[in-house]
Amino acid sequence: MSEGNAEPKLARINIDGKDYQVPDGMNLVDACESVGVEIPHYCYHSHLSVAGNCRMCLVEMGMPMRDRATGEPVLDDDGVQKIGWMPKPAIACASNAKDGTYIKTQSPLVKSCREGVMEFLLVNHPLDCPICDQAGECRLQEFSTDYGRGFSRYVEEKNVKPKRTELGPRVTLDDERCILCSRCVRFCEEIDENPVLGFIERGSHSTLTCFPGKKLDSNYSLNTVDICPVGALTSTDFRFKMRVWFLKPTKSICTESSAGVNTEVWSREGKIYRITPRRNDEVNDSWMADSGRALYHTVEAEDRMKRFRIDGQVCTLGEATLRARELIQVGTVAYVASGKLSVEEQYSLRKLVEKEPGRVTFVAHTQDGDGRLISNDATPNVRGGLVTGLIKQLPVTELEALRDKLAAGEVKTVVSLGEDLIAAGIPPEMLKKANLVYLGTHRNATSDIAKVVIPTLTVFEKSGTFINQQFRLQKFAQAVPGPAGLLPDVWILDMILAECEGAKCARPSTPQVWARMAEEVPAFAGLSYAKIPDTGVLLDGSAYAELPFPETKGWHYEPAAEPATASSKF
């Protein structure tokens, strides 16, 4: 894991005759990768301990020679210091970059080592590539094009092992494909801290299996599928669904909790097939919870709303926004939103609130986090509401204040941005009497009785930014187009605002919204959408340090204030 050295000491290493500067003590495989030299490897993973069992990363290693007695450099005939090469190759993954390390990654010896390792690994490997889900992102496939023979000298029968073992509810094992790198075993032990996997039998009969009576059923089990360098561990959800070379990865952010896990959304022709974690050493390393990977199913859910409606009748977008404006201007208005909105949407809502003032309430969605990558806050962007100035206080679980106002007739219109008000404690009869404008993606009890329903887009269908629990501003890109006719929430809010002002809606793109936000929101000064790196920007959250956020300690997160218990009301 990352070590917070203020000034990393640099080491000068020589790779294939060229000098490079890398952080001192960095693993040699990582060090070579950081300067663009690939050392093929299977068992090594930057976030796991070193096992050194695949032997694929063998390189020649040496140090400048010094005389044992005097310590004087030993020079060759040209007066250059001699390099003392070790007589046999060494594995790069078990070596660290130290000043003066010399390695050869392309010498004939290294190449023959790799060819030898590849041949042994392929001895019992089945000819499964046409049916294997890993094909296209398989390290074994990649390196066999580089170092494989192209044919097999092995004439004996290959080993037979179980082909579809269910290790857990989400992971299926094809044991014949396993190359025994033990990455999954180490993940369960070191990262998940739930050791359930191990090898049984000996030699080429070695088999990956769960311990007796145990199952690979942790909420982090699918990470073993990601780190499996071959197609042995497969995701039951994604199994045989689509070949990976058709899938387009889009950088996104998981909305499961305020941890803000970096993800990649893999889609083809507007359909999402899977979600995998994206490496960000400051947030989620290389990991992600299984529950977050299933969120893409909501895109094609049965209860997805696709039509604009007024009083239950289908209407056009123009009619819906016009009616929304009429209802908002009837009398006192109240807005209900939450941290599910992106920063841009919260900013656009603030603009609308400035024009048509009304009380803004955020609904809290708390959950029992796991102290890792699922925090206690089930929304990704409560801090965005604070930073954009939309809210001053933390979200509430019960909308008591709004209910009292509705009962007293002080509030005539409620605008809900994806919030189920009935679930938040407002009786349906009361809502039916008020003018309810609902913007959201999926049907619920509240949207069913709303006077105006404007369907919006899910996180996969729009671009924007979230601010996670560390106050890290992270952006997500649009992976797939939304249902026909639906527009980004920012545009909808802008259209209603334009209706109120009698102006024309400009339909701003995300970078255009950012250009405006950078001027108006102090925390975003000097930022632009393009300037936010893929790993995010850490904002200064010290102004909000006193607020009792519900999050407790998690991976890469230390709460600043005393955490409030999940059940308390703020």
Partner 1 sequence: MAKVVERKPLSFLEKTYIPQIVGGLTITLKNVFRPKVTLQYPEERPPIPQGYRGIPALVKDPHGREKCVSCQLCEFVCPPKAIRITPGEIAEGSENEHVEKAPEDFEINMLRCIYCGLCQEVCPEEAIFLQGDFNSLVGTTREEFVNHKDKLYELGGTRPDEHYKWDKKKEAAEQAAAGGHH
Stretch that binds partner 1, among 123-131, 206-214, 220-228, 461-469 (CB under 8 A): 123-131
Residue closer to partner 1 by CB (options 209, 284) is 209
CB of 132 to partner 1, least distance (A): 9
CA distance 39 to 111: 11
- The piece of 4-12, 233-241, 325-333, 511-519 that touches partner 1 (CB under 8 A) is 233-241
Q: How far is the CB of 159 from partner 1 (least distance, A)?
A: 6
Residues 492 and 486: their CA atoms lie apart, in Å, by 9
Residue 509: both structure tokens together: 């793109």
Distance CA 205, CA 160 (A): 9
Query: What is the smallest separation between the CB atom of 252 and partner 1, expressed in angstroms?
Result: 25
Can residue 239 be called a binding residue for partner 1 (CB under 8 A)?
yes
373 to 432, contacts with partner 1 by CB under 8 A? none
Rule CB under 8 A: is residue 246 a binding residue for partner 1? yes
* 130/150 with CB nearer partner 1: 130
Question: Does the protein bind partner 1 through residue 157 (CB under 8 A)?
Answer: yes
Whole-angstrom distance, CA of residue 271 vs CA of residue 13: 46
**Judged by CB under 8 A, does residue 279 bind partner 1?**
no
CB atoms within 10 A of CB 21: 14
**Is the Cβ of residue 132 or residue 364 nearer to partner 1 in the bound state?**
132
> Between 124 and 465, whose beta carbon lies closer to partner 1?
124
Q: Does 207 bind partner 1 (CB under 8 A)?
A: no
Q: Residue 66 interacts with partner 1 (CB under 8 A)? A: no
List, edge to edge, every strand of the sheet that includes 464-467: 464-467, 472-476, 537-538
Does 127 participate in binding partner 1 (rule CB under 8 A)?
Answer: yes
At its nearest, how many Å lie between partner 1 and the CB of residue 203?
12
Interacting residues of 11 by C-beta distance below 8 A, sequence separation 6+: 21, 22, 23, 24, 25, 26, 97, 98, 99, 100, 101
Backbone angles phi, psi at 451, to 5 degrees: -75, -35
Among 66, 98, 243, 307, binds partner 1 (CB under 8 A): 243
Contact call for residues 141 and 128 (beta carbons, < 8 A): no
Is 163 a binding residue for partner 1 by CB under 8 A? The answer is yes
The answer to whether the CB of 96 falls within 8 A of the CB of 28 is yes
As a whole number of angstroms, the distance between CA 159 and CA 120 comes to 13
SS3 173: strand
Interface residue with partner 1 among 6, 150, 203, 245 (CB under 8 A) is 245
Q: According to the binding rule CB under 8 A, does residue 539 interact with partner 1?
A: no
232's CB contacts (< 8 A; 6+ apart) are 173, 174, 175, 177, 178, 179, 208
214 binds partner 1, rule: CB under 8 A: no
CB of 28 closer than 8 Å to CB of 91: no
Q: How far is the CB of 223 from partner 1 (least distance, A)?
A: 23
- Find the binder of partner 1 among 79, 130, 150, 502 (CB under 8 A): 130
* Closest approach of partner 1 to the CB of residue 205, in Å: 8
Identify the three-state secondary structure at position 507.
coil
Q: Which of 129, 500, 505, 560 binds partner 1 (CB under 8 A)?
A: 129
Instruction: Give the nearer residue to partner 1 in terms of CB position, either 158 or 304.
Output: 158
> Which 355-374 residues touch partner 1, going by CB under 8 A?
none
Q: Which range of residues in 14-22, 155-163, 367-375, 482-490 is near partner 1 by CB under 8 A?
A: 155-163
* Residue 154 is a binding residue for partner 1 (CB under 8 A): no
State the DSSP H helix or E strand holding residue 508, giving kind and residue range, or none if neither: none
Gap between the Cα atoms of 326 and 30, Å rounded: 60
Q: At what angle do helices 489-501 and 317-328 cross, to 10 degrees?
A: 60
Confirm or reject binding of residue 160 to partner 1 (CB under 8 A).
Answer: yes
Candidate list 49, 76, 240, 520; residue touching partner 1; CB under 8 A: 240
For 80, phi then psi, to 5°, come to -100, 145
Residues that bind partner 1 (CB under 8 A): 126-127, 129-131, 135, 157-160, 163-164, 239-243, 245-246
